[in-house]
Structure 1
Amino acid sequence: MLEMLSFIQQLIILYSIALVGYAAKKFGIIDDTADKALTNIILYITLPALIVFSMDFPFSFSFLKNFYTLIFLSIYILVLACILAFFMARQNNLPEDKGGVYQSLIIFGNQGFLGYALCFSLFSKEGVMYASVFNLFFLFLIWTYGVYLIAKEQLTFSWRILILNPGVLATSFGLLLFLMPFKLPLTISKFLENLGTPTTPLSMLLIGSLIGNLKKDVLLKLCKDKHLWQAVFAKLIIVPLLPFMLIFFNIKFTLLAIAVILTAMPSAPTTAIFAKKYGSDTYFGSIGICVSTLLSLLSLPLLYWLLNILAK
């Protein structure tokens, strides 16, 4: 119960930051130029720094079995989530600027900040270490397939953009660090930590600002959009149930719990950032992120309670 209260506190903090961004847009403190600047700062500076910092811990051979299990769980869940999202979008016959955002809301969760915070609350440093490994495939996928989903209709899009972008480069460098038998010097590690830490508050400020662009009638219309609720339900309930299918296999409870927790994260703020960057339906993405973040207050404790009942 204490862990869940800690997680709920983290959600309240995030939502409050989004409200500040919303108010800043309404009072003219943040304008459209600032939205673009924030997007570029997050994508090209703070987020890559956070990725490298989060993967800077020493590798050991005793950890190898758990490493393979976590990678398998991550690939298994994300591949099935991609298939589910694709067919849901196809069934709804969504336009391209909305369909990619719709799929991204279902597939990609806020595993960086919220995920690490909750894993640390439940499993201490071991939880952060396991979460970092589980997120390896996620990071590659969101910076490749995630970009492709949202940017594929742009004339300027190319596979060069898909591979040589800051997220993939940072993840590749972080993976190299992970495989090395040493850590970065303390000064560099602290530099990356300080540079990467603002990613989450800046992301939530941007989401709040983007919502602030909406008129009240448009906001209400989006909240009534059945496709938004389909995406949120799939992200918070259907996709997190996928690891439950492996509950009777000989998988360490901590590893399975990490997989469930990270998969059950609300939709990633990166979706709205990519949508803003590549000209897709930013408002649909921003509202989907906020709604899923709010409702995860209910879904996450329920899923974790169910896992404890079934697995122990």
Structure 2
Amino acid sequence: MEQMAVVSSISLIAIMIAIGAILSRWTPLTGDTQRMFISLIFNVAMPCIILSSIFHVEMDDRLFKNMMVVFALSVIINVVGIFLGWFGSSFFIEDRLRRAEIGIVAGLGNTAFIGIPLCAVLLGPEGALYAAIFDAGVDFTIWTVAVMLLQRGKQSGIGTLKAMINLPIIAIVVGLLLSYFQLRPPVLFIDLFDRLAALAAPLAMFYIGFLIMNLKVTNFEKVKKTLWLPLTIKLIILPLIVALMLGFTAMDGTMSQTIIIQAMMPTLTLTSVLFAKYSADAESGALMTAISILLGLVTIPVMIFVVGWV
């Protein structure tokens, strides 16, 4: 992977975030605006980028095996990140819910909003497909480990199981089944998936720009003393651990690069929504997410250079 391609992609992401921030001056991020962005991204753009990736790669036993490995590694990496954040914060934070928040910020990355589009640009359809499978592992971790920590031992119930069933997950299952049985939709639909997939990156970055501009600077006081821990783990320590771990394997190049890129992603964009749902500190979650994304624009290309892909 060429370093200039990485820098170019990150620069485009930064520009699109800036455009979203500028647009927010005329269109504030209200509840309706936020729901519209999330609906378009998760219910239209993300499923289409997944389906587009599936129908542009040659599906075989090797690819299916690789996808199962990526899913398993995704869950392991996410849980390791959460544990590092939870364990590290236990030395200076007594509140278990606050430790859970820091663990989630440290472990769960922005693998959908930023990771899938970035892998699609840098690694092509196969990289985008692996990135989507990695994101499915993140979703699984969110609605199992993360929810369990936030609910502090309460039963999650049927609602948690239903939340795991969403359109991106359905797109992965349906697309893989069609591909496995060598069934392809008409060219018209493949072209439609390709065009709608192109909306994923701009819409996601515009939303992040809106989110950043909607934050209150005064909330920084709540997190400034603990902010360094989850962000250091998420943006530096966890990617290095993953890179070192994969360095001892003979894993396929595109597959390993996708996993490392996804491990580098800044904190999950929907952290604040997750925290709000389970009575945690939603405002602090949003602030840590925004700072993580801004820092990620610098750390992602630096970390790619560090792990030796140039």
State TM-score, norm by structure 1: 0.78
Question: 1:270 is matched with which residue?
Answer: 270
Residue 52 (1) aligns with residue 47 (2): yes
CA distance in 2 between counterparts of 1:292 and 1:77 reads 18
Question: How far 1:300 moved relative to its partner?
Answer: 1.6
**Alpha-carbon separation, structure 1, partners of 2:197 and 2:246:** 38
Paired amino acid for 1:161: G
Contact 1:239 1:264 in 2 (8 A): yes
Once the 2 structures are TM-superposed, how far is the Cα of residue 235 of structure 1 from its aligned partner? 0.5
Describe the shift of the 1:22–1:92 C-alpha distance in structure 2 as closer, same or farther (beyond 3 A): farther
Greater Cα offset, 108-117 or 258-267? 108-117
2:126 corresponds in structure 1 to 126
Residue pairs, 1:1-312, within 5 angstroms? 1-17=3-19, 19-20=21-22, 23=25, 29-30=27-28, 34=30, 36-41=31-36, 46-56=41-51, 57-58=54-55, 59-93=59-93, 95=95, 98-150=98-150, 152=151, 158-165=156-163, 167-177=164-174, 178-181=176-179, 182-183=183-184, 186-187=188-189, 190=192, 193=196, 197=200, 200-201=204-205, 203-208=207-212, 210-211=214-215, 214=216, 216=217, 218-222=218-222, 225-243=224-242, 244-308=244-308
Q: Aligned pair in 2 of structure 1 residues 288, 14: CA closer, same or farther (>3 Å)?
A: farther
AA matched with 2:22: V
- Name the CA distance, whole Å, in 1 between partners of 2:74 and 2:291: 24
Moved more, 102-111 or 8-17: 8-17
Distance 1:86 1:12, change over 3 A: same
Task: Say if 2:103 and 2:230, in contact at 8 Å, map to a contact too.
Answer: yes
User: Is 1:236–1:264's contact at 8 Å kept on the other side of the alignment?
Assistant: yes
Letter in 2 for 1:10: L
Q: 1:227 and 1:142 mapped to 2: Cα distance?
A: 22
Q: Secondary structure of the residue that 2:226 maps to in structure 1?
A: helix
Is there any run of 5+ residues in structure 1 with no aligned partner, and where? none
Deviations 1:277-305 (A, max 9, x none): 54432222222122222222332222212
| Aligned residue-pair number | 295
1:5 partner letter: V
Cα distance in 1 between the residues matched to 2:112 and 2:152: 28
Aligned partners of 1:139 and 1:171 also within 8 Å: no
Shift of 1:264: 0.3
Alignment CA distance shift 1:46-1:131 (3 Å): closer
In 2, the alpha carbon distance for the partners of 1:159 and 1:60 equals 37
What code does the residue aligned with 1:204 have?
Answer: I
Q: 1:184 to 1:230 in 2, by over 3 A?
A: farther
The AA in structure 2 aligned to 1:139 is D
Q: One-letter code of the match for 1:87?
A: F
- In the alignment, structure 2 segments of 5+ residues that lack a partner are none
**Mean Cα deviation higher: 298-307 or 262-271:** 298-307
Structure 2: distance between partners of 1:22 and 1:101? 28
SS of the residue 1:266 aligns to: coil
List per-residue Cα deviations over 1:58-115 (Å, max 9, x = no partner): 5432423322332343233122123223323433325466444322211111112321
Query: CA 1:274–1:190 in structure 2 vs 1: closer, same or farther (change >3 Å)?
Result: farther
In structure 2, the CA distance between the partners of 1:201 and 1:11, relative to structure 1 (3 Å rule), is: closer
Distance change >3 Å, CA 22–CA 293, structure 1 → 2: same
One-letter identity of the residue aligned with 1:159 = G
Q: In 1, are the aligned partners of 2:235 and 2:265 still within 8 Å (CA)?
A: yes
Normalization by structure 2: what TM-score? 0.78
Structure 1 counterpart of 2:4, one-letter code: L
CA contact (8 A) 2:79 2:141 kept: no
Say if 1:49 and 1:195, in contact at 8 Å, map to a contact too: no
Distance change (3 Å), C-alpha of 1:8 and 1:172: closer
Q: Deviations over 1:158-186 (max 9, x none)?
A: 42221112x53335423321233335564
Q: What SS does structure 1 have at the residue aligned with 2:165?
A: helix
* Shift of residue 2, structure 1, vs aligned partner: 1.8
Identity %: 21
User: RMSD of aligned C-alpha atoms?
Assistant: 3.4
